């Protein structure tokens, strides 16, 4: 039986190292600021949890839940919606939005616009993954974990039909046998 699964592209070790680097950089950049971190759910939950623990500041955490696409198809601007809004007030805060992946750029662009309207003192974006080849709208990203080619990836929070989010590394979607799948889980 053929199953859809993924071959590792970013290992747990590489991930840990990069998250530590990002955490150090953010610690320096926000040393004298009022950092409010906003995780974009669901996709960013794993990265976000690791990233906040790599930052040595008295930061505050919050979340925003946006709609995700049902398929791998490009997101449609009109279809992005906030399912559950943040609890904290953004006004006057140094906000850092944390995303899992920037693909077309639609989601980040939509969220930036929404948050900027609430008058933060500053607004920056950190994404674990960036797929610049697929960009449809121009959007500036301040911190990028890894830049990827145009491939659909899962794991470490990223999903295919809400599955594979618990995979502890990033994998490229592929068709593999059951035996291979087991092997990859054990990587
Ligand atoms: P964008 O609006 O096209 O930039 O897409 C952003 C959202 O699409 C991300 O937050 C993900 O939820 C999803 N997405 C884009 N590419 C991938 C991928 O390769 N794997 C899993 N989810 C993806
Ligand atoms: Mg998603």
Contacts of 20 (CB under 8 A, 6+ apart): 54
**Do the bridges between strand 94-102 and strand 170-177 make them parallel or antiparallel, or are there none, so unpaired?**
unpaired
Domains and CATH numbers, the chain: 12-149 (3.40.50.2020)
DSSP-derived 3-state class of residue 153: strand
Q: Is the pTM of this model over 0.85?
A: yes
The yes-or-no answer on residue 103 being catalytic is: yes
CA–centroid distance, residue 72 to ligand 2 (Å)? 9
Helix (H) or strand (E) holding 123: strand 122-130
Whose CA is closest to atom 9 on ligand 1? 101
| Ligand 1 pocket: which of 45, 69, 70, 138 to mutate (most atoms within 8 A of CB) | 69
pLDDT higher than threshold 70 for residue 87: yes
Range with the poorest average pLDDT among 11-15, 22-26, 67-71: 67-71
């Amino acid at each position: 039986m053929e199953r859809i699964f993924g071959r590792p592209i970013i290992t747990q070790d590489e991930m840990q190292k990069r998250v530590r680097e990002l955490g150090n950089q953010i610690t320096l950049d926000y040393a004298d600021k009022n950092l409010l971190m906003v995780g974009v759910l669901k996709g960013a939950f794993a990265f976000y949890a690791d990233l906040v623990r790599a930052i040595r500041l008295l930061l505050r955490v919050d979340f925003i839940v946006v709609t995700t696409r049902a398929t791998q198809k490009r997101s449609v601007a009109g279809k992005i919606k906030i399912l559950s809004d943040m609890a904290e007030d953004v006004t006057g805060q140094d906000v850092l939005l944390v995303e899992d992946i920037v693909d077309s750029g639609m989601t980040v662009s939509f969220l930036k616009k929404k948050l900027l309207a609430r008058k933060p003192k500053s607004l920056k974006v950190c994404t674990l993954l960036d797929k610049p080849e697929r960009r449809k709208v121009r959007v500036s990203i301040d911190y990028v974990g890894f830049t990827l080619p145009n491939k659909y990836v899962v794991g470490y929070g990223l999903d295919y039909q809400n599955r594979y989010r618990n995979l502890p590394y990033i994998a490229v979607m592929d068709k593999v046998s059951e035996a291979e799948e087991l092997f990859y889980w054990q990587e």
